[in-house]
Structure 1
Amino acid sequence: GIPSLASSTVALQRGIGLDTGVPWGGVNDFYRLVNGAQEEIAADPGERFFYNNAAYRMLGHVIQEVSGEAFHEYITENILEPLEMKRTTLIREEYERDPDRMIPHWKKPDGTIVPTDFPYPNVVDNPDFSFIAAAGGVISSVTELANYLTMNMNGGKFGDVQLVSPDSIEKMLTLHIDRPPNHYGRYGYGYGWGITQDFLGHKMASHGGSILVSTAHLAFIPELKIGVAQAANSAGLQYQTIAEGIFTALMGMEPEKALPALGIRERMEKLTGTYQVYKGLAIVKVINKAGLLHLEQKNHFTDIVVPLIPEDDTYGSLRFYILTDGVRQPVEFDVDPSVGIDLYIERYRYHKTS
């Protein structure tokens, strides 16, 4: 049980010109960060599970040591070339030579989006530290990522080449560690894949990741042999929900009715907006911030933003509460299609105006 050591935070911030104060020049710097975190161990092995980018980098180092090759060379020879992923690379120079390459974009907290460089160092400049790319350092396209999905859906085979044994693929797609349930019930981690045990009657495997200036997400349903590859040159979209929406459409269902996440977002969207009391003497806004409704009030005397905590996690109820010093303050919406939406907070009755 080692919580995240933020090794990716160091790599990504340095890559866009920010200094974390943590040395990051090679293998020794990486293990100095990892081995210096002994006091961060939170549980014995097997007791708790944390996804950990530093652990994937250590696995990459294992591959490097066992194979005797730099990590990027081994991956290219044993995965990318057999899968005919000709544009896919871990080498910065190859990416920069591609005339049709994506331009990474950094979305800042204030909402502005600016072009930036790919933040990972060029692995050929320091082959011993090539395994830094084991977590987020592969640059690909959705067309070639589809080849990787095809191999996983075909029991480890792509064309006439058997890259991975069917038994290994089966183990990868077996839920080994339970995590908090998702909208569909049991959810957990296999080997390199997140496993939703019952997505509308089928097992679904998925995995995504972002380096903040680019993002990728893969998902597939083994039984149906359908998959979705997504890639973007920034971060912040709901890739998992997009994949699930595509799956439901391919399965002949209506995504808006079949996917709980879409229903929740629709119900949240209905409640967001500006609310006023009688004569407009008090005004508040209901906003969606990071997937949770918040109440915002700004005037000459007040400047507050507080979360509206739903009594029903699926937003099936219109009852919420504000938690202040451990005390709940009820908040309730009243939706009347013929009149509009009202908001009740203590003695105040607000009417939605926009």
Structure 2
Amino acid sequence: MENKVWQKQFAEAAQPRIEKCGVPGVYVGLNKDGQSVYRHGFGYRDKERQLAITPDTVMGLASITKSFTCVALMQLQEAGKLQVHDPVLTYLPEFRTPDHSCTEKMTIHHFMTHTSGLPLLPTDYLAIKGLPDGNIEDEDHPIHKQIKKEDQKWVNTYEDFMEVIKRTDFQLLGQPGAEFNYSNDAYSLLGAIIERVSGKTYETYIKEHILQPAGMQNSSFDLQDLQHYKEVTTIYRLTNEEESTEVYPDPEWEEGPVVLASGHLNSTVHDMLRYAEIYRTGGLVGTERILSKESVEQMTRPHVQMGYGQFYGYGLFITPNYYGATKIEHSGGLKGVATQMVIIPERGITGIAMANLSETPIIELLNYAIHSLESRPAASPSVPFPEECSMEVEQLYLYTGTYRVTVDRNFQVIVEHGVLVFDLGKQKFPLRPIGDDYFLMKQEEEEEAIRFNRDKSGRIIGMSVDVLYLVRIAEQNHNNGEEV
């Protein structure tokens, strides 16, 4: 498709989404075979001062940082300093969970693939300054349900971080390797392993072994460095009122010394397009080899299934059948941060999108750009879902019950008017069956596949929603509606 035609198609699809969410600034960059094919900014890095957003604007990456963490671990494996299937306790002997036998089985691989069995934990509230809902002085704050007040203190070392986990009241989701459940805590602890194995701080290791060799001159973990960069974004938030979409600047970026490895690198579109070359070329950025081809293959292998047609590698989401090619990607979100990285190696495509408001539909926006570039309708699905299949109401009741997200948050799956419904309290989402324990849930314009998980006997024991695993803690007797 001629450049102007596909770019016009992308802009026409993207602009309404950008206006609807109210994001002050978005920047999208696409390369083909290492050469620029698209650079465009929508809006501002600083709306109040009308400063344009550019490919050199420094912004947060959030969880795309996880791929850097895995690159570091693969480098250390290449150097013979660790193996990814080593037990975590080999490097973090003080690490404890409520089940010691499971803890002994946890490996670095389990941490890298989010299959350690760790549930959502409240440790972020003690490890990250600047959280939007970080006022733990409130009596009803969720942290109080899991961590006693006398154990609550600011966490600034990995040792303190592991002590908090040790003192937290929680249950593992299952045996290591059994279920995918996104865990920032596991990735933070991978930072500790990198430090102990390399003898350098996590941020120093990443700087010396990835950022500098890759020529990423405007990338840093240190918020103090922001003042030295020519262009830095303002970060924005939405007001809390349900009816309001007012956006306002927040001067306080999220930060915490022990959570860097899970999501706190700052970078630019230009720098990130250099970094993405690692996965397009099999380890090279220009003539500089960052990783061996074998390590890149190990990182991009579909190690564990997360959703319909999508898997997780090492710090990367993998879609093995993306319109006949492999799609490698990762997104990120923090306060004032929304990012998405995509690589399609067989087609030479690398893409980065970055925004300064966390509620930005950044994944969809970059998808629109890639679909347009490849002559598909902008709103084409990333993974085409099967047609809805018929299911008897009696079968639907097999999935009903209460599902646990955290120690103080449960959700219901119910049957209403012959339809399976995911009941979030304030909102209810119909679930449409597409086969093999998969159901489609639609939120706004997007459809998402929900997967129900069974044990060896065939009983439903949990459900996978987006990147989280929810344990089924009670079934529902559909004859009288009571839980059993």
If the length of structure 1 is used for normalisation, what is the TM-score?
Answer: 0.68
- Offset from partner CA, 1:249-289 (integer Å, 9 cap, x none): 22222224x337999xxxxxxxxxxxxxxxxxxxxxxxxxx
Residue 196 of structure 1, CA deviation: 1.1
- Offset from partner CA, 1:63-121 (integer Å, 9 cap, x none): 11111111111111111111111111111111133241011112233233221134344
Residue 195 of structure 1, CA deviation: 0.8
Residue 16 of structure 1, CA deviation: 5.6
Residue 203 of structure 1, CA deviation: 1.1
Q: Does 1:63 align with 2:184?
A: no
2:361 to 212, 232, 238: 238
Residue 17 of structure 1, CA deviation: 8.4
SS at match of 1:223: helix
* Cα gap change, 1:11 to 1:37, in 2 (>3 Å): closer
Structural mapping, 1:77-156, within 5 Å: 77-110=208-241, 111-121=245-255, 130-156=257-283
Residue 170 of structure 1, CA deviation: 0.7
* Cα gap change, 1:17 to 1:3, in 2 (>3 Å): closer
2:176 to 33, 45, 48: 45
Paired with 1:193 and 1:17, the residues of 2 have a C-alpha distance of 28
SS at match of 2:332: strand
Paired with 2:160 and 2:246, the residues of 1 have a C-alpha distance of 33
* Cα gap change, 1:308 to 1:86, in 2 (>3 Å): closer
Structural mapping, 1:144-223, within 5 Å: 144-181=271-308, 186-223=309-346
SS at match of 2:282: coil
* Cα gap change, 1:93 to 1:17, in 2 (>3 Å): farther
**Among the aligned pairs, what percent are the same residue?**
21
SS at match of 2:188: helix
Paired with 1:109 and 1:229, the residues of 2 have a C-alpha distance of 29
Counterpart in the other structure of 1:20: 136
Aligned 8 A contact 1:213 1:235 in 2: yes
* Cα gap change, 1:7 to 1:208, in 2 (>3 Å): farther
- Offset from partner CA, 1:303-345 (integer Å, 9 cap, x none): x976362657487xxxxxxxxx979xxxxxxxxxxxxxxxxxx
* Cα gap change, 1:31 to 1:240, in 2 (>3 Å): same
Gaps of 5+ in 2: 1-116, 138-151, 386-424, 434-439, 443-476, 480-484
1:259 to 381, 385, 388: 381
Paired with 2:153 and 2:441, the residues of 1 have a C-alpha distance of 44
Aligned residues: 266
Paired with 2:355 and 2:127, the residues of 1 have a C-alpha distance of 19
SS at match of 1:95: helix
Q: What is the one-letter code of the residue matched to 1:246?
A: A
Which structure has the larger Rg over C-alpha atoms? 1
Q: Over the residues paired in the alignment, what is the CA RMSD in angstroms? A: 2.8
Paired with 2:427 and 2:211, the residues of 1 have a C-alpha distance of 48
Structural mapping, 1:325-344, within 5 Å: none
Paired with 1:234 and 1:203, the residues of 2 have a C-alpha distance of 29
* Cα gap change, 1:193 to 1:31, in 2 (>3 Å): same
Counterpart in the other structure of 2:430: 309
